[in-house]
Amino acid sequence: MATAGSERAPLTWESVRTLYPGTADAAYLDSAAVGLISSRVREAMTAVLTAHEQRGIAAAPDWRGHADSVRASVARLVGGRADQVAFTQNTSTGLATVTNGLDWRDGDNVVVPAGEFPSNFYPWLQLRRRGVEVREVAMTGGHAAVDDVVAALDDRTRVLAISAVQYSSGHRYDLGVFGAACQDRDVLLVVDGTQAVGAVTVDAERLGIDVLAVSAHKWMLGPFGIGFVHLSQRAMQRLSPSTVGWLSVEDPFAFDHEPLLAEDGRRFESGTENSAGIAGLGATVDLLHELDRHRVEDRILDRAEQLGTLLAQAGMDVHLSDRPDRRSGIVIASSPLSSHQVLHDRLLSQGIRCSLRGNGLRFAPHYFTSDADLHRAADTLRHFT
């Protein structure tokens, strides 16, 4: 964060790139796997560690006060409320607030697309031992059809679990349709937002999302081991914290024998916070606000579209939705002539980072991605397709 009296010059896409040292030598197109952190994130985390080193317990009030400001910043980013944000370790622990927090009954069911990322699939499978049916919806072309998902809901459905963006295809769902359907049927809409938040806009309250679980280390360009959940009012009322610790209560320093749980999202935070992680999360969210989340979305979608065009010109088969509003920052490309592994190895050898996923190579440019990065990837593949 800028110190008092030190005004920063407005960031351009060229100047923001200098905040990411990892872009100096590599064409980094892998934010859907792990995003680069900025120098601001590193500095924010280092400041917490330095305070811990020098002041010990005396630094703790500063950390906790800052955590409240980060809550508010996160809530603003996802169109929610600060008192409905809880910090988590990652997406899995965020989703555990639902799998462990609902009063499940034999015969209940969860609706989930069959091709979800494991973090949003494995936890629901564990509920089968409690008599809960996991109702899988088949995916075609990298996503489940909206009508098929809605048709799978019935009067015993407790949760619809879905990713905002599918990791293997880049398909972006119309979450508003699911939100309305879940409201009508009194079903909790649980969304894995890790492949969306930080890249495309997600407004939790407007879309009717009851639980939005996010890890910071991908598109948010934050550190490992920190994430958050945003909970709707009805989710807050229905979910009980499965792990209660001294920080889950209204006044942790009262040291009451019988806990009075916090009325807000803190009830889902059990013990000592990841102060350095929260500081890093706050720094990257502040940067997103400085750049403006809508402007960031436009930039990332533009990068993805331009990359798709260049890869197609290089002879690759590019898999993007025909509908621009269903696209994300993910671009999947395959070759009709060469193995994906060979192409991936070639890209890595040339300092171009991407992943092998789904039907081929998964590229994920971010706002720091330059035109030169995009051309470098396409030109490298041109001779192997």
Q: Summarize pLDDT for 322-356 with one digit per residue, the tens.
A: 899 999 999 999 998 888 999 999 999 999 999 99
Domain with CATH 3.40.640.10 in the chain: 51-290
Q: Are 230 and 210 in contact (CB under 8 A)?
A: no
pLDDT attached to residue 10: 86
Question: What are the φ and ψ backbone dihedral angles of 75, each rounded to 5 degrees?
Answer: -60, -40
Query: What pLDDT score does 61 carry?
Result: 73
What is the pLDDT at residue 3? 45
As annotated, the residues of the chain forming the CATH 3.90.1150.10 domain(s) are 13-36+293-382
| pLDDT on residue 58 | 75
Assign 3-state DSSP to the chain and report helix, strand, coil percentages, each to 5.
45, 15, 40
* 232: CB partners within 8 A, 6+ apart: 84, 204, 205, 208, 209, 210, 211
* pLDDT value of position 367: 98
For domain 13-36+293-382, the question of CATH label 3.90.1150.10 is answered with: yes
**SS3 label, residue 217:** coil
Distance CA 141, CA 150 (A): 18
pLDDT averaged over consecutive 10-residue blocks of the chain (385 residues)? 58 96 96 98 96 83 85 98 96 95 97 95 96 97 96 98 96 97 98 98 97 98 98 95 74 74 81 92 98 98 98 94 92 90 94 90 98 97 78
Interval 73-85: pLDDT, tens = 999 999 999 999 9
- Class of domain 51-290 as given by CATH: alpha beta
Question: Which residues of the chain form beta strands (DSSP E)?
Answer: 27-28, 85-88, 109-113, 133-137, 139-140, 143-144, 157-163, 188-192, 211-215, 227-231, 317-319, 331-334, 352-353, 355-357, 360-363
> What is the predicted pLDDT for the residue at 349?
95
